[in-house]
Structure 1
Amino acid sequence: MSPSSSYRQLADVYDHLMADAPYDQWMQFAAEVWRLTGTAPHRVAELGCGTGSLTRYLLERKLEVWGVDLSADMLEVAREKVERSHPGAPVHWLNQDIRRLSLPGQMDSIVSFCDTLNYIPDAEGIRQVFAGVFEALKPGGTFLFDVHTPYKIAEVFGNESFCYQDEQVAYIWQSSYDEYTETVEHDLTLFVAERDGLFRRFHELHRQRAYRLDDLRDWLVEAGFTLLSLTADFSSQAVEEESERAFFAAQKP
């Protein structure tokens, strides 16, 4: 299904707003884990691939990539973008809920960055993801992902308001934190410039759940993984009380 013209514009705005996202650092994290484990992957699945920005970094490393996302529209945008930048590249797009992951054959590595797992609403869903990833990996395969920490969900997003404006887009972003469910709701109103100089209004509502890092570690072990490392904020340092992003590297024995 092709996205509507309005969705195409919204997707373009997403890439515009994410232009400074550290995709190169996510790629460096993965590459370093692969180097340290000596796994040298060829077949890699990317869960929550969105519009394919990180996918292009994976393709630069001559990998065969399976891009998985819940949104068929996002996958269509990713497909068009990757075809422009890497025509004929070995990439396969799968429209799936990652809690019910189904990949063709076993993967050398599976990655899920940009806090994709924070969008899973409950512990059972996380366990389903971990079990599906474990099943999809070959022995020795690696699973690499990051999450927003509970500190960032509660204290950085919390009950805060954010705003932004440039020549192409403006937004008002209101976050509301529920202490009981440890969930933050992002209420985002976007104003996107049209060719006629007027602005079109879009509304987005997103929810992200905080997960305790000890729980995530336990659920990885429960699924059968060996935890290789747990680090903070694109570094090799341990996660501290005010770390905002936690990086997990796990391996299937």
Structure 2
Amino acid sequence: MSYEKFAYLYDDLMRDVPYEQWVKVIQQQVEKHGIEGKRLLDLACGTGELSICLAKSGYEVTCVDLSDDMLSVAQAKAQESGLQLSFFEQNMAELELMTEFDIIGIFCDSLNYLQTETEIKNTFRHVYHHLEDKGLFIFDVHSVYKMQHLFINQTYAYNGDDISYIWQCFEGEYPLSVEHELTFFVQDESGKYDRYDELHFQRTYPIEQYIEWLENSGFQVNEILYDFKQSFSNDDCERVLFITSK
């Protein structure tokens, strides 16, 4: 999976991502659980859009991502905003920093990019060891419904002024996994369109499986939100958010 060109197109393509919803959830949970510290680790931070929103909300943000291209975009945006953020290029499943945090988050379904159960369990284990006692670990994943009904065997397209894409979703090798075949057409200064192709893999699991892995790692699951809301019915939700404590 490559992020080389995708990193520089991501913000244009994701303008409708509800970053303010994640900030709101974090602030609500921080108040609810009496978290006084402001040290926040944003794992798989991508281009740093949410990291910057969180920094502007008063958090001391450390950013980690596997892609140096994503981090380059995030660093440039932070400098332009006059914000002091720390950046590290690491795999979340092999996280190794010298600091503990009050809040750790994996947002924007980034956890779904891990390909194996072992990687997820390793990620939970590393997060646990980097989290202060009673600290919050918050993450979201694609729902089973979204994988089965909105991704697998679906095709999406977008035609913008400078960027267009065709996004085809195919059932992956593993249960509840999907391969995203993305073809971008990007207009350059001369008006000519360049084509870029990328393949992205995502995989999710039933809610009960995440809970089991979390509890085995030492976490307490405080609350589960469906599409950012409390709900008794989650049959057709698209995003599942886990609010957990160490």
Q: Shorter chain as normaliser: what TM range?
A: over 0.9
Instruction: Provide the rounded CA distance (Å) in 2 between the counterparts of 1:102 and 1:23.
Output: 26
1:190 and 2:154 aligned: no
2:14 to 1, 15, 18: 18
* TM score, norm. by length of structure 1: 0.93
Identical amino acids, percent of aligned pairs: 36
Report the Cα offset of residue 136 of structure 1.
0.2
* TM score, norm. by length of structure 2: 0.95
SS at match of 1:127: helix
Instruction: Provide the rounded CA distance (Å) in 2 between the counterparts of 1:13 and 1:180.
Output: 28
SS at match of 1:31: helix
CA separation of 1:150 and 1:211: change in aligned 2, threshold 3 A: same
Paired residues of 1:239 and 1:246 also in contact (CA < 8 A): no
Report the Cα offset of residue 188 of structure 1.
0.4
Matches within 5 A, 1:106-185: 106-178=100-172, 180-185=174-179
1:227 and 2:229 aligned: no
Instruction: Provide the rounded CA distance (Å) in 1 between the counterparts of 2:223 and 2:67.
Output: 30
Instruction: Provide the rounded CA distance (Å) in 2 between the counterparts of 1:206 and 1:237.
Output: 31
Letter in 2 for 1:186: H
1:203 and 2:197 aligned: yes
1:79-99: CA deviation from partner (whole Å, max 9, x where unpaired): 0011101x2x33110100000
The residue aligned with 1:43 is: 39
The residue aligned with 2:49 is: 53
Letter in 2 for 1:76: S
SS at match of 2:180: strand
SS at match of 1:192: strand
Letter in 2 for 1:45: L
Which runs of no fewer than 5 residues in structure 2 stay unpaired?
A: none
Instruction: Provide the rounded CA distance (Å) in 2 between the counterparts of 1:165 and 1:152.
Output: 23
CA separation of 1:72 and 1:191: change in aligned 2, threshold 3 A: same
Paired residues of 2:78 and 2:84 also in contact (CA < 8 A): no
The residue aligned with 1:99 is: 93
Report the Cα offset of residue 234 of structure 1.
1.2
1:244 and 2:238 aligned: yes
CA separation of 1:238 and 1:97: change in aligned 2, threshold 3 A: farther
The residue aligned with 1:3 is: none
SS at match of 1:242: coil
Report the Cα offset of residue 13 of structure 1.
2.1
SS at match of 1:102: coil
SS at match of 1:176: strand
Letter in 1 for 2:23: M
Greater shift, 37-46 or 233-242, is seen at 233-242
Paired residues of 1:231 and 1:238 also in contact (CA < 8 A): no
Report the Cα offset of residue 10 of structure 1.
4.5
Letter in 2 for 1:228: N
1:83 and 2:79 aligned: yes
Instruction: Provide the rounded CA distance (Å) in 2 between the counterparts of 1:130 and 1:10.
Output: 27
Letter in 2 for 1:138: E
Instruction: Provide the rounded CA distance (Å) in 1 between the counterparts of 2:41 and 2:190.
Output: 41
CA separation of 1:239 and 1:65: change in aligned 2, threshold 3 A: farther
Paired residues of 1:231 and 1:239 also in contact (CA < 8 A): no
Letter in 2 for 1:52: G
